[in-house]
Amino acid sequence: MEQALYVRFEGTVRHLRGHYPGVFVLANELAAQGKLTEEQYRFWRSNNDWYDANYTNPTHVDPDVYDPDVHPGAVAWFKTSAGDLIKRVDGYLSLLAAHGVVCRRLESSNPGRIIYEDEYQIVVAPLGEPGDTRSECGD
């Protein structure tokens, strides 16, 4: 098997649009619903701010990248070379686990048709069921 070039952390329950939401969407939903403790909220806010300051939001480059009519099922994957960005995901996984939100880690060398790419990530339209390797985030 080829070495995975990309990694994604996502929930295990499909959203209304049919895709599995990533950890940032899941954490943002908890925050928007007022479900975070003060400590969790501080973690979420400071880390979202860090990500915003340190890597590009694909929608700032292409506002249609996640548009379900233009790119149905589009999702983001980290490049495995983006170690600093990936290691910060652990805090989000802990936050989600504290609220009973189950996540999994996917690794793939070809997760879909690339519709956006930068130094740290890609956004893909799915080719089918993505990923070469799936595991629960706690594994």
Domain ranges of the chain: 6-136
Instruction: Please report which confidence band the pLDDT of residue 17 belongs to, taking 50, 70 and 90 as the band edges.
Output: confident
* Distances in whole angstroms, Cα of residue 4 to Cα of each of 1, 31, 56, 79, 130: 9, 32, 22, 9, 12
The stretches of 34-123 forming alpha helices (DSSP H) are 38-54, 58-61, 83-87, 89-98
Beta-bridged to residue 7, according to DSSP, are 78, 107
Q: In 10 A of CB 68, how many CB atoms?
A: 12
What does the pLDDT read at residue 75? 95
Is the predicted pLDDT of residue 14 greater than 80, yes or no? yes
Instruction: Please report which confidence band the pLDDT of residue 23 belongs to, taking 50, 70 and 90 as the band edges.
Output: very high
Over residues 58-101, the pLDDT tens digits come to 999 999 999 999 999 999 999 999 999 999 999 999 999 999 99
pTM of the model: 0.86
CB 114 within 8 A of CB 10: no
Residues recorded for the chain: 139
What does the pLDDT read at residue 2? 63
Over residues 98-137, the pLDDT tens digits come to 999 999 999 999 999 999 999 999 999 988 544 444 445 5
